[in-house]
Structure 1
Amino acid sequence: MKKKQCLKKVMLFAGISACTALPAMAADQAQQTPRLLLDVNMVLLIVIIFLLLIIGMLGFTLRASIDVYRERKKVQAANEDKGKNKGPEYLKPLLTLAAVFVGMQVFGQEDAAAVTAVPNPFTEAKVLRYILVGVIALELLTIFAFIYWIRFFTGIEELRKAHAVAKKERYKGLRTWWSRANKLKPIEEEDALDVGHSYDGIRELDNATPPWFTIAFIASIVFGIGYLWRYHVLHAAPNQYEEYEIAVTKGNLKVASYLKSKGDAVNENTVVMADAAGIEAGKKLYTANCTACHGNAGQGGVGPNLTDDYWLHGGSVKEVFKTIKLGVVEKGMMSWKDVFSAEQIAEIASYIKSIHGTNPQGAKEPQGDIYKEAAAGADSTGAAVKSDSSAAR
């Protein structure tokens, strides 16, 4: 019932204010040219009425919060000694409540004066506008005051202060711990740390070394001794160089395993000439690995000439593949099967076959037996004929 009565009073006050302002606005509009836009003073008046409604609702909430505050204080007083003076505890809410109602009455009178005095006292629109803006400012201040009082009477402000104190105490403990950990002295004891040296007004203080620094320094020495004993005295674990060699060895084993698994795909019995891309890839491999013995153009050097018709171990692509794969140890030709994959050996062999007949400058004299490619349908190994040059070798 109290809530409904309070709301009715607020709505009644707002309606009376609006009805009082209507004749003044009608008279003012009769003297002016009709406009589609609302007058600024009219907008300010609407804002004033709206803020008054908010003040009324906050006033009702404030009264309820004061009741809550009273009940809470009664419970606290019942638990305290009965001989204590209770006057101040009850006086503050009563004075606050009186100030609230006086403030509401004053603001209501100012607003009514601003509305009813439009026709005669305020002949200048700007003066009236300033008055309305001032009323709005006072209403906003009243709203802020009501909000603060509501926070106070409901205990929200007290709770906030308690949290702030607890937070301060928590950080105070952290600061105290940090001071102990670093052996910091308060500013009041600074004179006791003065060693008597001053440079341009800067005094030298004998501050103790922080314990954490001393502990870290000692720990680094202990770690260094343990590291030296483990890796350089006992050799119980590989050092960084040995770890690198182990990693490289494992990597080579993985590569060899991969190449071995791929070796059955192409061999000396199934290899055929590669396409243009394969020949280009074989050229790169040849340039990087074979030029030291056979020359950059296959003209020969330590090894035989690869561009003429003479071959020591057969000139077909299959025979060249087999020679590269297995090598000829007695003549210095290493086996490349552990270095290259079967596909790579096939690409190198295809490149070597592609440079046949190029006759590069500085070509080495023929070695081995002459080899001629067989005609289509014949044996792919071709025909080898014994040459005089091979007889001489």
Structure 2
Amino acid sequence: MICFRSVKNKMALMLIPVFAASVLTAQTTAPAAAQPVTSGYNQLAVLLMIMIIVLAFVIWGMGQVLTALGKQLIHKNKAAASSIKSIVLLAGISLLSQVSFAQGTAPVAAAQQLPNYGGLSATAYYMLLTVITMELVVILFLAFSIRRMYTELLPEKIKPKPQGSKLADWWSKLDKKLFTKAVAVEKEADILLDHDYDGIRELDNALPPWWKYGFYITIGVAFVYLLNFHVLGTGLNPTEEYNAEMEKARIAIEKYEAGNKDRIDEKNVPMADAAGIEAGRRLFEANCIACHLKDGGGSVGPNLTDNYWIHKGSINDIYNTIKIGYPDKGMQSWSGQFTPKEISFLASYIKTLVGTKPAVGKEQQGEFYVDGPVTDSASVKKTDSLSAKKPDSVLVAKPDSAGVNK
């Protein structure tokens, strides 16, 4: 009896924060209702405060129910006293926190001049929502606690048996069958081995099925790999795959370039039209006159107006010379500055300089080259060279043949 009285006194002391919190709540909310309606009156703020007060009374009522159930549970299980203390203290602290929130938010709502959320500032609005959220969490906690205590107070015969969901039962069976294959603790004696290592006894647990079947799968994959790459030779190693992909890409590029009429490279450089030649002239005067002069007569670089070329003189050869350059002879590569189209324009303009008369033409360099039929000067030179050789051969051959015939 003395023990029950002491517990009763402790319960009374623990209920003090609950009643104190409810009184403080009433004190803080009463002035708000008595305030006159002014420009600071806000319906949203009033609605939120009413919700806070109503939820606070709900928590207080649920706390009373929980306290009554706790008293009954003390007689059944004295160990539950500690859990009752924690629940009551949690309810009291939550109510006190609600009062402190309400005290801090009421003046802010009244002093707000620039409304953001229905006339409330963002700080006040979210603070009130936080209080309501905390109250809902406390209500849920109290509801679960009341349900648990009520279940414990029921007689054993009418206690509801726990029923798992179909999904949970299915997963439990699948886990035991495929993933763990664990043996229940009650049946561990059946798989206990006779080994004893310093008091440590061993269980004959089965391998996890997923690991065992995964190992079997790797053996099958290894067998297929061995046949494919080392026996039948139908598989390609990484080097062979790379070479096959490169060959496939090369064929695709060739096919694309064959059907690309606008493709320009060393093998396909069309002669530009008048607009292209004019564009080439502008490029030449902007980049090439330092070495070849404006009229192409040549200074540091060779003369571009005659038929003598150091690296051949077809339009394709000129394109290649401009593109790759010859740094050892002072000719840089222009592929980084010009596009293939621009280089073709430049080569076409240079071809138009051949045969012109520069103001000061540099001496001939390289080999003679002309497009199409050989010019008269070339034929004259070839005739002279042949006439110099033919008499000797004739003079030597004819006497012998005449002597033989005769």
**Class of the TM-score when normalised by the shorter of the 2 chains:** 0.3 to 0.5
Scaled by the length of structure 2, the TM-score of the pair is: 0.33
